[in-house]
């Protein structure tokens, strides 16, 4: 395990931590508001480790929804990870299989985006680098939930601090970093339209899955299979 | 253990399955269809867009200025600089409005 690789990964943590921190703490505060103990809020952040789905789960807890429906909703919100896993799983070539299994546990939105950027530059994704980015987040996330659950009401005006928008600004930067990829503009345009339409109709957080699948479908439709690879049965002249 | 703890643990299991499942399903196939591959290559841009676009659509001048500043600085001086600038811009403009 290379410590310089670990540190290189950790250096990418700063913007992620700054932008995710308010949400981690907000989750803790809302969780306690909805009847969780502080310990349960911390447990959920440590084991589920997926912010948007935790928020949805907590919202449903507050409404006395059937347990299986809560679990199903969390599954639905997290379904986008199936795409991440399919896209990057083969680059988790760390030697031992348990390292791949650990890597999947740590695969949050920023973890996927940062790792994908490494792969896209043609560099090798190392386990040390991956842990350097992921472990601080895994430690910070439950700590933030604890802070939020314990001191939740202290931030008086999150709007003035821009805490509602800061994560979107971070993801916007990551999005622009992917701009040289094939079919980037049609994918972004269709995902944008579909996610905005879903946001105003079926509502958050379903706009993520709806928009993502629309963009992915457009890429699959528009791609021109290379003649060398186009064997019989591809069904597209 | 309380019901809450069981629900949390079940949620953790299904979440892990989404994170491992895509790779697990895909690794059953020997060759990947070019359309599937193109779709997978589009995943980062597609998902990141969905996390940004509605916020832009729902935003006003401070938010739009923040995104514009993050783009301008970010594409020239790197993502962290762009992020910090965008954040500073939204705080400053919201304080003025």
Number of Cβ within a 10 Å radius of residue A226: 8
Q: Of A46, B69, B60, A111, whose CA–CA distance to A38 is shortest?
A: A46
| List of residues 6+ apart from B75 with CB closer than 8 A | A176, B82
Delimit the domains of chain B by residue range: 45-97
Spell out which residues of chain A touch residue B53, defining contact as CB-CB under 8 Å: 191-193, 195-196, 211
Which distant-in-sequence residues (6+ apart) come within 8 Å of A40 by Cβ?
A31, B2, B4, B5, B8
Residue in A35, A52, A16 with CA at minimum distance from that of residue A166? A16
pLDDT band for B28, please (50, 70, 90 cuts): confident
Tell me: pLDDT of A159 over 90: no
Confidence of residue B78 (pLDDT cuts 50, 70, 90): confident
pLDDT in tens, A94-131: 999 999 999 999 999 999 999 999 998 999 999 999 99
- For B47, the closest of A80, A100, A220 (CB atoms) is A80
Across the range B65-91, mean pLDDT stands at 92
Paired tokens of A71: 């679990």
What is the Cα–Cα distance from A229 to A226, expressed in whole angstroms?
Answer: 5
Confidence of residue B16 (pLDDT cuts 50, 70, 90): very high
pLDDT at residue A61 tops 90: no
Burial code of A79-92, b = ≥16 C-beta within 10 A, e = fewer?
bbbbbbbbbbbebb
Decide: B7 and A71 in contact? Cβ < 8 Å: yes
User: Helix axis angle, A166-177 relative to A13-33, nearest 10°?
Assistant: 140
ipTM score here?
0.86
Can you count the helices (H) and strands (E) in chain B?
5, 0
In the 8-state DSSP scheme, what is residue A231? -
- Asked if A71 and B55 come within 8 Å (Cβ–Cβ), the reply is no
The per-residue pLDDT for A236 is 41
Which of A34, A168, A199 is the best mutation test for B, with the most CBs of B within 10 A?
A168
């Amino acid at each position: 395990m290379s410590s310089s690789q670990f540190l290189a990964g950790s250096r990418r943590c700063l913007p992620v931590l700054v932008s995710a921190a308010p949400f981690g703490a907000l989750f803790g505060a809302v969780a306690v508001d909805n009847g969780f103990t502080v310990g349960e809020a911390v447990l959920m952040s440590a084991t589920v480790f997926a912010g948007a789905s935790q928020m949805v789960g907590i919202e449903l807890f507050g409404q006395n929804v059937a347990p299986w429906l809560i679990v199903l909703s969390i599954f639905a919100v997290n379904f986008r990870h199936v795409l991440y896993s399919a896209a990057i799983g083969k680059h988790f070539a760390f030697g031992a299989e348990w390292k791949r299994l650990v890597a999947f546990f740590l695969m949050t939105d920023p973890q996927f985006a940062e790792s994908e950027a490494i792969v896209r530059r043609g560099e090798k994704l190392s386990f040390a680098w991956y842990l350097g980015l992921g472990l601080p987040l895994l430690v910070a996330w439950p700590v933030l939930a604890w802070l939020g659950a314990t001191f939740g009401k202290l931030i008086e005006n999150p709007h003035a601090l821009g805490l509602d928008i800061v994560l979107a600004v971070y993801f916007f930067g990551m999005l622009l970093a992917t701009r040289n990829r094939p079919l980037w503009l049609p994918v972004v345009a269709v995902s944008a339209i579909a996610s905005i339409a879903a946001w105003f109709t079926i509502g958050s957080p379903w706009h993520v899955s709806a928009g993502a699948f629309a963009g992915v479908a457009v890429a699959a439709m528009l791609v021109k299979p290379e003649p060398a690879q186009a064997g019989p049965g591809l069904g597209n002249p | 253990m309380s019901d809450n703890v069981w629900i949390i643990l079940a949620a953790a299991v299904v979440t892990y399955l989404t994170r491992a499942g895509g790779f697990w399903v895909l690794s059953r196939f020997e060759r990947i269809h070019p359309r599937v591959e193109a779709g997978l290559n589009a995943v980062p841009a597609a998902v990141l867009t969905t996390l940004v676009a509605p916020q832009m659509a729902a935003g006003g001048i401070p938010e739009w200025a923040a995104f514009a500043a993050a783009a301008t600085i970010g594409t020239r001086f790197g993502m962290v600089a762009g992020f910090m600038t965008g954040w500073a811009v939204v705080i400053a403009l919201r304080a003025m409005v």
